[in-house]
Amino acid sequence: MTEVHFYHLQRQPLERALPQLIEKCLERGWRCVVQAASPERIDALDQLLWTYREDSFLPHGTDREDNAAEQPVLLTTREDNPNGSKVRFLVDGATADLASYERAIYLFDGNDPDAVDVARDQWKEAQGEGFDTIYWQQDENGRWQKKV
């Protein structure tokens, strides 16, 4: 059964939280796909994953490249899964069929009322489909806390 995680970003922007979460997935040997709502966001995330740390980068590619199926992390605006990912990240309100994944991760800006409304709808939909839903919020130190 797919676990659907919701990360309520309040103390960190997506640009700080996403690379950390992707790193954890790669440490576990999981391939990931990151789905965003626009090609412009994909371009920004592509640049981010090459440069987010001075001493490292996250190996990745976009769905526009010939070797998309070989990428450990694939950035896309589409719902397909050409690299056989077990984990799907969804940002900017993106949606996809989640049943074939071990884990789906929605990241949303808790300071944006529209993004919170979209996340609430996605939460209800995930629960309605019978997925295990898990909600994460940052504490005052920026650490993720699982909420019940």
> For residue 118, what are its two tokens?
């979209």
> For residue 133, what are its two tokens?
């839903």
Tens digit of each residue's pLDDT (9 = 90 or more) over 27-83: 999 999 999 999 999 999 999 999 988 888 899 999 998 899 999 999 999 999 999
Asked if pLDDT for residue 87 goes beyond 90, the answer is yes
> For residue 84, what are its two tokens?
């056989």
Q: How many CB atoms lie within 10 A of CB 134?
A: 16
Asked if pLDDT for residue 92 goes beyond 90, the answer is yes
* pLDDT at residue 80 in the model: 93
What is the domain partition of the chain in residue ranges? 3-147
Q: Which CATH number fits domain 3-147: 3.30.930.10, 3.30.530.20, 3.40.630.30, 3.40.50.10110?
A: 3.40.50.10110
| Burial class of residue 35 (count of CB atoms within 10 Å of its CB; 0-12, 13-18, 19+) | buried
Per the CB < 8 A criterion, the answer to whether 91 and 36 are in contact is yes
- Give the Cα separation of 13 and 146 in Å (integer): 18
For CA atoms 10, 13, 18, 20, the dihedral sign is negative
Per the confidence metrics, is the pTM higher than 0.75? yes
Tens digit of each residue's pLDDT (9 = 90 or more) over 14-24: 999 999 999 99
- 52, HSE (Cβ side, Cα atoms, 13 Å): 21
* pLDDT at residue 45 in the model: 97
Q: Report which DSSP code applies to 43.
A: H
DSSP 79-105: S--TT--SEEEEETT-----TT-SEEE
* pLDDT at residue 76 in the model: 97
* pLDDT at residue 52 in the model: 87
* pLDDT at residue 5 in the model: 97
Asked if pLDDT for residue 148 goes beyond 80, the answer is no
Degrees, nearest 5: CA angle 48-39-55: 10
Tens digit of each residue's pLDDT (9 = 90 or more) over 95-123: 999 999 999 999 999 999 999 999 999 99
